[in-house]
Amino acid sequence: MIPDTLSPEDRLAAAVHLLSVLHLARDDSALQGMLPNLSEKQIREAQARAETALQEREGALGKVIRDVGALVGREQPPAAKIEKKELDREGLLKLVQKHFDVDLSGEKMVRNSKAKPARMAAVFLARRVLGKTIEETANLLGISPYTVGDLTMDGNQEYDARLSFYKKIRDICREVGVPAP
């Protein structure tokens, strides 16, 4: 089902993503059991690659993942369509402030270095949960696209580490009623 025209990295990303989305693998350990030749790091990198391809809405990898998911008829709908609460800037920042116990009002969203984990969370949620592009996220949060790019990379690394940042993101998703990435 996955075309040979994709690079090996894209083929792996598509396979890992589809195994997860189609609930053939319940968690990372199940994925690793199904793909024993891959390390946890390789699986996480493949998941991140697939997620990025789906969010950018262009490119061969995202198209293949959507096409194969549609063929089997069990693809999870995009996050924006399953959202139970409308999250505007204020709603998103209130949730992040609550869970990270930090003030992000006004200039603090842009300049408060102590609030970096909360800033990463706001960007992470806008990009990976709400499905916003870099430009849409920048407009939503009132920060530059360059800052969004940096915070996206840092947030993805923190989330993949599965420590406190990961737990707080999952708590926020649970509170809003959307599936966590």
pLDDT at 49 over 50: yes
Contacts of 148 (CB under 8 A, 6+ apart): 123, 127, 134, 137, 138, 141
Q: Is 59 helix (H, G, I), strand (E, B) or coil?
A: coil
Identify the CATH number of the domain defined by range 81-176.
1.10.1750
pLDDT per residue over 132-173, tens digit each? Answer: 888 988 898 888 889 898 999 999 899 888 889 999 998 888
pTM over cut 0.95: no
- What are the residue ranges spanned by the domains of the chain? 8-72, 81-176
Q: Compute CA 76 distance to the chain's CA centroid, rounded to the nearest angstrom.
A: 14
Higher pLDDT, 26 or 32: 32
Residue 168 · residue 129 · CB < 8 Å: no
Higher pLDDT, 94 or 18: 94
d(CA 93, CA 70): 34
